[in-house]
Amino acid sequence: MSLLTIILNIVLPPLAVFLKHGLGVTFLISLLLTALGWLPGVIHAFLVNGTD
């Protein structure tokens, strides 16, 4: 995982997921979790972007 990805995971989780996986279900889940609370979005972004 690059430094840019780590920073985006923390600051803008949906953008980090979008750049890695494109527009799809994973992005929508990240957007929803970030809208519900910043921390769930960050956790999801790290889990999704860290496994690839």
pLDDT tens across 1-40, in order? 789 999 999 999 999 999 999 999 999 999 999 999 999 9
Query: Per 3-state DSSP, what percentage of the chain is helix, strand, and coil (rounded to 5)?
Result: 85, 0, 15
Average pLDDT on 38-44 reads 95
What per-residue confidence (pLDDT) applies to 46?
95
Q: What's the half-sphere exposure (Cβ side, CA atoms, 13 Å) at 43?
A: 7
Report the pLDDT value the prediction gives residue 8, as an integer from 0 to 100: 93
Residue 44 pLDDT greater than 90, yes or no? yes
Residue type, 29: I
| pLDDT reported for residue 51 | 66
